[in-house]
Amino acid sequence: MSERKQFRDLATPAEAHEAIASLDLVPEAETVPLAEARGRILAERVDAELDVPGFDRASMDGYAVRAADTFGADEADPATLELVGTVHAGVEPEVVVGEGECAEISTGAVMPDGADAVVMVERTDEGVDDDAVEVRTSLAPADHVMPAGADIAAGQRALGPGTELTPREIGLLSALGQDEIPVRGKPTVGIVSTGDELVRPGGDLNSDAGQIYDVNSYTIAAGVEEAGGEARLYPHAGDDVAAMEDALTTAADECDLVLSSGSTSASAVDVVYEVIEDRGDLLLHGVSVKPGKPMLVGRLEDSAYVGLPGYPVSALTIFRTFVAPAVRSAAGVPEPRTATVEGTLAAEERYSEGRTRMMPVGLVEDEDGETLVYPVDKGSGATTSLVEADGVVEVDADTEYLAEGEHVRVTLFSPSVRTPAVLALGEDDPAFSRLLDRLNSSRFLPVGSREGLRRLRDGLPDVAVVAGPTRREVASVELSEWEREWGLVVPEGNPENVGGFGTLVDEELRLVNMDRATGLRASVDAELDRLAAARDAESAELSGAIDGFGFTLKAHESPARRVLAGDADAGVGLRSTAEKLGLGFVPVGTQTVRVRANPDRIEKAGVADLQAVLAGVEDVLAALPGFSA
């Protein structure tokens, strides 16, 4: 690749915005039926082509009269007029109102010739004979009449270009009789996913061959649509040059902008690079933003092109930061109003890579309604970061340290992102997980009991879920507690006759253990201490004698699933998991699960909602084998 264009330095974020702004994404204007115009942006001004109303219009039910005929009339001395006809709404008047005459008229009806005012029916009486009406008030010309064009007159400017069409604008366009509306086109954005290993959601996955589901295509497509564009997915192309070139040039032919995204493999990046250099023009390679190093900006035939990073959080972050504003601008869609929130950093943060950092963060409200902001960094490859982070904080390239309590501004991933009403951290527990289904808005991070308690002490979560024995003392208010039975999950029928951890110590059987941060593991360690005391041995001797004791997983069902897959003889787990998966279970003990709240947050609405839900825990416990109050 010696002929590659050289980009010695990473571009600055400003240069990247400029490069994308220099690409022309603006599609042609189009015409849509009024019924489909909601949310679109008016492409040109709309002037009224007719008067609204189109006629002098009665605005009351009553009688159309000549105002001059009522001069001086009042309750004591009504004017008597001769009733000469009736005018209904939607019908051309067949009557002319002469001097001393009147006509019955409905709201919305056309004023008959001769009449210039309407008297409300409540201010009249039937006269002495059938054709007489007594008017008990004096009227001025135009009383209760809306003259033609009074609402909007032909020739007047009704709506300006760039107006977003909400229900009210649609109302005015209806009144003007317009049903073909000139609107800004939606920029079409082709999304080409790259990487041999990607499988579209819904397809069959061969995990042994390292296949993974394609996350970026639908995620970025949803982002494109949120920004006012129209997304088109192109079948993922693999890493083969010809196939990739075909997908990219087809997309360029059909779309205003082509995005590629997917694989992080160097070979796929090389292939895309080659196609853009061959068939287009590369303007920029790499932005001095974490995570923007692999970003590409250029032209591909007559279309614009941006290459996004492969990791989902990185791809969405770069899309939101650099591409979405360009899509919105091309679509004429205004910047969303609620795209940022202000908050304070919940913990100090260090960083020193010398690039602007788009730091993914989660949000929680403290007891005073202030927003606390905490970094979410599970590695960019983690897709759960997508939902555990609410947005990003942009940190300057030369900021190496952010103190706890520092004021930061968070750019939300979507305008519709809400701060969760309650944030819980700690032990992954099936009863608590089901209770969360009864809350409107919550976030649970399964970090294990130990980490949950530590973060509770530091004041981050509203609530920590803690299982099993704990060493740490943390001030908290216990909201609820229950018991759960744990032990060893074994194959159906317990073919190896596992009786407990003693069997694993004594025989050549393979265990899958739980991570040290979990409460299940704390109970395992306590059980080994008990067993060691009974055998007059050291705990470490026993654990050393168990094959796989050091092979640990974080999720409470995972060891059992390894047993199910035939990869192990026993897994640490819960009776409920064994029954759910149809496996055998060797009970070892019960442990207490405690829901412990930050004492300062007890008054918080989300915590109160959680308490209400916890009050109904019994029926959840009743449905889970091995759980009890």
> CA triplet 502, 503, 508: central angle to 5 degrees?
125
Q: Do 364 and 455 meet the contact criterion of CB atoms below 8 Å apart?
A: no
Minimal distance in Å, beta carbon 276 to its own copies?
A: 21
Measured from the CB atom, the residue of 211 and 539 that comes closer to its own copies is 211
Angle between helices 519-535 and 449-457 (to 10 degrees): 120
Minimal distance in Å, beta carbon 429 to its own copies?
A: 10
d(CA 518, CA 524) in angstroms, rounded, equals 10
Minimal distance in Å, beta carbon 521 to its own copies?
A: 15
Pairing of strands 289-290, 296-300: unpaired
Minimal distance in Å, beta carbon 271 to its own copies?
A: 13
Measured from the CB atom, the residue of 140 and 403 that comes closer to its own copies is 140
Q: Which residues of 299-318 are buried (b: 16+ CB within 10 A; e: fewer)?
A: bbeebbbbbbbbbbbbbbbb
Measured from the CB atom, the residue of 26 and 50 that comes closer to its own copies is 50
Measured from the CB atom, the residue of 313 and 402 that comes closer to its own copies is 313
Minimal distance in Å, beta carbon 599 to its own copies?
A: 26
Minimal distance in Å, beta carbon 222 to its own copies?
A: 4
Minimal distance in Å, beta carbon 15 to its own copies?
A: 26
Measured from the CB atom, the residue of 381 and 616 that comes closer to its own copies is 381
Measured from the CB atom, the residue of 552 and 598 that comes closer to its own copies is 552
d(CA 581, CA 489) in angstroms, rounded, equals 10
DSSP string of 158-226, one letter each residue: EE-TT-B--HHHHHHHHHTT--EEEEPPPPEEEEEEE-TTEE-TTS---GGGT-EE--HHHHHHHHHHH
Measured from the CB atom, the residue of 110 and 490 that comes closer to its own copies is 110
Measured from the CB atom, the residue of 378 and 516 that comes closer to its own copies is 378
Measured from the CB atom, the residue of 266 and 540 that comes closer to its own copies is 266
Q: Nearest-CA neighbor of 38 among 155, 175, 165?
A: 165
Measured from the CB atom, the residue of 169 and 245 that comes closer to its own copies is 169
Which amino acid is it at 219? T
Q: Nearest-CA neighbor of 347 among 368, 336, 362, 333?
A: 362
Q: Give residue for tokens 């009557």.
A: 95
Measured from the CB atom, the residue of 564 and 586 that comes closer to its own copies is 564
DSSP string of 67-103, one letter each residue: GGGGTT--SSSPEEEEEEEEE-TTS-------TTEEE
Both tokens of residue 512?
């899958």
Both tokens of residue 594?
């405690």
What's 518's DSSP letter? S
Q: Do 571 and 487 meet the contact criterion of CB atoms below 8 Å apart?
A: no
Q: Nearest-CA neighbor of 125 among 188, 186, 65, 79?
A: 79
Minimal distance in Å, beta carbon 479 to its own copies?
A: 19
d(CA 192, CA 202) in angstroms, rounded, equals 18
Measured from the CB atom, the residue of 169 and 256 that comes closer to its own copies is 169
Residue 503: which region, alpha, beta or left (left: phi > 0; alpha: psi -120 to 50)? alpha
Measured from the CB atom, the residue of 97 and 198 that comes closer to its own copies is 198
Minimal distance in Å, beta carbon 462 to its own copies?
A: 16
Instruction: Spell out the residues 6+ positions from residue 18 whose beta carbon is closer than 8 angstroms to its own.
Output: none
Q: Nearest-CA neighbor of 304 among 255, 244, 269, 250?
A: 255
Q: Give residue for tokens 């519709």.
A: 416
Q: Give residue for tokens 């192990």.
A: 568
Measured from the CB atom, the residue of 129 and 619 that comes closer to its own copies is 619
What's 108's DSSP letter? T
Residue 609's H or E segment, with its range, is helix 605-614
Minimal distance in Å, beta carbon 320 to its own copies?
A: 9
Minimal distance in Å, beta carbon 102 to its own copies?
A: 18
Minimal distance in Å, beta carbon 553 to its own copies?
A: 6
3-state secondary structure of 459: coil
Both tokens of residue 147?
């003259």
Minimal distance in Å, beta carbon 42 to its own copies?
A: 10
Minimal distance in Å, beta carbon 166 to its own copies?
A: 4
d(CA 227, CA 220) in angstroms, rounded, equals 10
Q: Nearest-CA neighbor of 556 among 584, 577, 585?
A: 577
